[in-house]
Structure 1
Amino acid sequence: MDLKLEVVVLPVSDVDRAKDFYTRQLGGRLDADLPVKDGYRVVQVTPPGSACSVIFGEGITDAEPGSAQGLYLIVSDIEKAHEELTGRGVEVTGPFHDDTGIFHQAGETGRVPGAAPERASYGSFASFTDPDGNGWVLQEITERLPGR
């Protein structure tokens, strides 16, 4: 059985502001903007190159705006991604790597400025939040582990 992650629902407070951020600043493709009825609107955006979309809107979730954390976008060049997003007005922290050389720890614990030594695949990160505070992490993957 294949299980494919298709959609992530994001809690936002201002649908149009979120739509602008995910399409204009992140460069995502607007797949749908459906004002179904009063209090129920569905907006779907797909990040460039992604098979998984994000959905936000009105009447979509009871979660607090900004409460989605640890959302990952994979990039092939962390420095280029940082530069491009910063150029689009997104405040991006990093690049950074973890002092353990493994996955990054919670919050800012163990963060070391700069890309991972020798740009080890899976080892370099950067982060940003959307206007509501939903937290995203960019992770550089240049060579996938076997079976991935």
Structure 2
Amino acid sequence: MSETTEELQPMKLEVLVLPVSDVGRSLGFYQGLGWRIDADFEAGPEFRIVQLTPPGSPCSIHIGRGITSSAPGSAQGNYLVVSDIERARADLISRGADVTEVFHNLYDTGTPERVYGHAPDRTSYGSYASFSDPDGNVWLLQEVTERQPGR
């Protein structure tokens, strides 16, 4: 691979598609979490696309009918980065989400074993909590208080 001095063309992640079985139920769930509806287009019984955006996020999600062949609930490990995981967790719980306790992983032991409680010394990027939407699409809250260099 040769090195180049050309700057890469910027690419911005704007939308993730989440496979759901019931658009109305999912729409209610995400609205209940406080996510903004940006668009809702329906073109007959086979196609509907709804765009929602989490508070403060530059990236949105699409849910709908006829927009993906993926099985409902198959979107796993979608990250929502937060600066205060306890506050974010409490807010989601107050809005009806079933959020796990805060946990961290023991990657330094060679296994990704989940351990409940905050990462040692509340290390940035180290503490998580998770929840699922009604179809089982899994979201991970990740606490980031200090960005790695270059971000």
TM-score under structure 2 normalisation?
0.90
More strand by share: 1
Kindly provide the CA deviation profile for residues 87-107 of structure 1, in whole angstroms up to 9, marking residues without a partner as x: 1110011200112369x93xx
Matches within 5 A, 1:88-107: 88-100=95-107, 105=112
Structure 2 residue 65 is matched with structure 1 residue 62: no
Task: Tell me what 1:118 maps to.
Answer: 121
Kindly provide the CA deviation profile for residues 105-133 of structure 1, in whole angstroms up to 9, marking residues without a partner as x: 3xxxx111111122110000000110000
Structure 2 residue 77 is matched with structure 1 residue 78: no
Task: Tell me what 2:16 maps to.
Answer: 8
Residue 45 of structure 1 and its aligned partner are, at CA, apart by 0.1
User: C-alpha distance in 1, partners of 2:70/2:115?
Assistant: 32
User: C-alpha distance in 1, partners of 2:44/2:118?
Assistant: 47
Structure 2: gaps (5+ residues) = 1-8
Structure 2 residue 130 is matched with structure 1 residue 127: yes
User: C-alpha distance in 2, partners of 1:99/1:83?
Assistant: 25
Report % sequence identity. 58
Q: How many residues align?
A: 142
TM-score under structure 1 normalisation?
0.91
Structure 1: gaps (5+ residues) = none
Matches within 5 A, 1:35-54: 35-54=42-61
The two structures, once aligned, show a CA RMSD in angstroms of 1.4
User: C-alpha distance in 2, partners of 1:19/1:101?
Assistant: 39
Task: Tell me what 2:147 maps to.
Answer: 144
